[in-house]
Structure formats: structure tokens, C-alpha cells
């Protein structure tokens, strides 16, 4: 008897609720805006100069992390990271030129956030196509890493 009462009390809750669209709920159309953004057709050189300047002016951690998120979101191919200035990595996701990374590392140390400095290298490792490109970044930025006292993740857990 109690089981039947319990089942009867749950029956209305188990039925699907039907919602009818009212005119206020209907969407007439959605337009995706794309078009002329200021940085849409930016060259790698102008991108690098813009972000070097941005990171040189960063004054707090929020700005630094916002800038890193923005510049890692771009799909640019830097020239010359693998040694030969005419060589371009095949990956369309190679992140940043060494000058931009250096500026970001200096900004991370300026705002006293060591973990972000280490994570910059993790971001580079995730974005490059192969280990050779990552090692080219490490070799190029060895002096800056030593100067700022930045240890990469592989060295921390070795």
C-alpha cells in the first residue's frame, strides 16, 4: 500500500515537462560578426613588436596572464627558431618568437610570479610541433633563463 502511494506521488514529477515557445522566446536570427579587426592580417613581425611592447608594460599578474592567453591563442609561424632564418616550422601552431617569450619571462619575474614563468615554457612545449622546436626555444632562451633563475618543469621534476 505504501509503495503504491509513493509511486503515485512520484509519477507527475517523472513526466516530461513541455514548454511551448512564446514569441518573446523565439530567436529571429543570429549573426556572427567577423570582419575588419585591427590585427586580423597582422604580420609575424608586427605581432612580435606589439606583444614585446605589451609585456614590457605589464604591471600586474592579471595583465600578464591575459596577454599570454591572447598571444598563445594566435596561430602564427615564427621564422628562424630552428636555426636557419629561412626555415619555417611546419606547424601552424608554433607560438611566439624568442623576443616575445623573453619579454613575457621578464614580465613574469617583474610581477614576482615564478610559476607563470615556468608555465610559459609549458605553453611553448604544448604549441610546437616537435621536440626539436621546443629544444630550439630552450637553447635560444638559455641566457635569459639563467639570468632570471627560471627552471623548466623537466628540470624541476628530474
- Here the CATH number for the domain that contains residue 99 is 1.25.40.40
For 90, the domain range is 44-156
| Spatial separation of the C-alpha atoms in residues 17 and 135, rounded to whole Å | 58
Q: Is 146's pLDDT higher than 80?
A: yes
Contact 60, 111 (CB under 8 A): yes
Examine residue 29 and state whether it is found in any structural domain, yes or no: no
Task: Give 71 or 59, the one with higher predicted confidence.
Answer: 59
Examine residue 87 and state whether it is found in any structural domain, yes or no: yes
Mean pLDDT, residues 68-74 taken together: 86
- Residues with Cβ within 8 Å of 120's Cβ and at least 6 positions away in sequence, in order, are 68, 101, 104, 105, 108
| Number of domains observed in the structure of the chain | 1
| Spatial separation of the C-alpha atoms in residues 88 and 79, rounded to whole Å | 5
pLDDT-derived band at 71, boundaries 50, 70, 90: confident
Examine residue 111 and state whether it is found in any structural domain, yes or no: yes
| Spatial separation of the C-alpha atoms in residues 86 and 88, rounded to whole Å | 6
Examine residue 17 and state whether it is found in any structural domain, yes or no: no
Alpha helices in the chain (DSSP H): 2-14, 44-57, 61-73, 98-110, 114-127, 131-140, 142-148, 153-156
- Average pLDDT over the chain reads 77
Examine residue 5 and state whether it is found in any structural domain, yes or no: no
Examine residue 2 and state whether it is found in any structural domain, yes or no: no
Residue 28's pLDDT is what?
44
Examine residue 74 and state whether it is found in any structural domain, yes or no: yes
Examine residue 150 and state whether it is found in any structural domain, yes or no: yes
* In the block, residue with C-alpha cell 513541455: 18
Half-sphere exposure of 7 (CA within 13 A, CB side): 4
Amino acid at each position: 500500500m505504501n509503495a503504491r502511494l509513493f509511486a503515485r506521488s512520484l509519477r507527475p514529477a517523472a513526466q516530461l515537462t513541455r514548454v511551448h515557445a512564446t514569441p518573446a522566446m523565439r530567436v529571429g536570427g543570429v549573426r556572427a560578426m567577423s570582419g575588419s579587426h585591427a590585427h586580423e592580417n597582422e604580420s609575424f613581425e608586427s605581432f612580435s613588436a606589439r606583444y614585446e611592447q605589451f609585456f614590457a608594460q605589464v604591471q600586474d599578474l592579471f595583465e600578464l596572464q591575459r596577454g599570454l592567453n591572447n598571444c598563445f591563442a594566435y596561430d602564427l609561424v615564427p621564422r628562424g627558431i630552428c636555426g636557419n632564418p629561412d626555415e619555417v616550422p611546419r606547424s601552424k601552431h608554433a607560438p611566439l618568437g624568442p623576443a616575445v617569450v623573453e619579454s613575457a619571462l621578464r614580465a613574469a619575474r617583474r610581477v614576482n610570479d615564478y610559476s607563470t614563468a615556468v608555465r610559459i615554457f609549458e605553453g611553448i612545449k604544448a604549441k610546437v610541433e616537435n621536440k626539436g622546436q621546443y629544444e630550439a626555444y630552450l637553447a635560444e632562451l638559455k641566457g635569459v633563463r639563467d639570468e632570471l633563475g627560471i627552471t623548466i618543469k623537466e628540470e624541476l621534476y628530474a
